[in-house]
Amino acid sequence: MKYTREVKTALLAIVAIVLLIFGYSFLKGKNLLDSSKTFYAVYPEVEGLSPSSTVTINGLKVGTVTDIDFLNQDGDLLVTFTVDTDFEFSPNSVARVYGGGIIGGKSLAIIPTYEPGNVARSGDTLPSEMEEGLLELVNERLTPLQEKVEQAIVSADSLLTSINAVLNEDTRNNIQSTFADLSSTVASLKTSAASIEGVMNRNTEKLDRTFTNLDQMTGNLNQFSDSLTQVDLGVMVRNLEKVTADLEAVSGKLNSDEGTVGKLLTDPTVYDNVDRATKQLEQLIQDIKLNPNRYVRFSLFGKKPEPYVPPQDSLQ
């Protein structure tokens, strides 16, 4: 059978159209000859998820996202994806959008749940869930850090402004003068240190002898301490108690009217008699000095002694 040129051209056009349809469907993630199951999920946003994104179960690729379109006027998005496996899971399994690296986009993972007798069928809508990707996590962590950095920059700017206000020309001159004075002080300290070092070098032997004497003194003190530890403190305490008792006895006798000393201290009559006798003795001594002839009973020429005349300040 011989085909005309027109028939051949028509057949080629049909084949080209079919291949174009298959190719376009394949590029969009659809396989017209495949009996895969189609599922749906609704999301408020799908940033990074696009048609032909990977669909996985437990990390294994089982399908692709075939379409993303608006569901209603609220802006909710309907994601259509296929699963190319006979693996069964319940319609309550979660379709989670995850990933989102710096270069790659996001993927869709089915978190399967298993309910006997309740298996997801093609055309079911699965519960949806969004997982924060790398960019969202970085953004979330960097936002507080950014605020702190901004606050630190503002504080640093205020600090620098204050420092510039303080460090005017007069202050800078004063600081320079202070450093100059510090340099002079350090130089003086160096000179003093050199002098002290010279004194120490010249008196090294004396210092050695002094420390030797101190060491000997410490040894003597240690020996004295050892001697004190060997003293019988009990005997010393008993002797002190005995002396104290004797002193108390003597004090008691002195405070009483017993004995001569006690009467002298407590009896005013004894004191008056002693005072009177002392005055009379003083008068007698004075009279002997003034009139010694009264008390000498002889004379070379037989002259009688003068009669006694009591002194003017005699005892009344």
Residue 227 three-state SS:
helix
Q: What pLDDT, on the 0 to 100 scale, is given for residue 314? A: 47
Q: What pLDDT, on the 0 to 100 scale, is given for residue 128? A: 92
pTM tops 0.85: no
Task: Specify the pairing of strand 37-43 against strand 128-130.
Answer: unpaired
Sequence ranges of the domains in the chain: 1-33, 36-131, 134-166, 178-231
The per-type count for the chain, helices as H runs and strands as E runs, is 7, 7
Residues of the chain below pLDDT 50 = 299-301, 314-316
Q: What pLDDT, on the 0 to 100 scale, is given for residue 315? A: 44
Cα separation of 311 and 174, whole Å? Answer: 97
Amino acid at 315: L
Cα separation of 42 and 128, whole Å? Answer: 6
**Residue of 39, 105, 92, 47 lying closest to 67 (CA atoms):** 39
- pLDDT, tens only, 41-81: 999 988 888 898 999 999 899 999 999 999 999 989 999 99
Q: What pLDDT, on the 0 to 100 scale, is given for residue 264? A: 65
Q: Do 57 and 85 meet the contact criterion of CB atoms below 8 Å apart?
A: yes
**Residue of 42, 123, 39 lying closest to 76 (CA atoms):** 42
Q: What pLDDT, on the 0 to 100 scale, is given for residue 316? A: 46
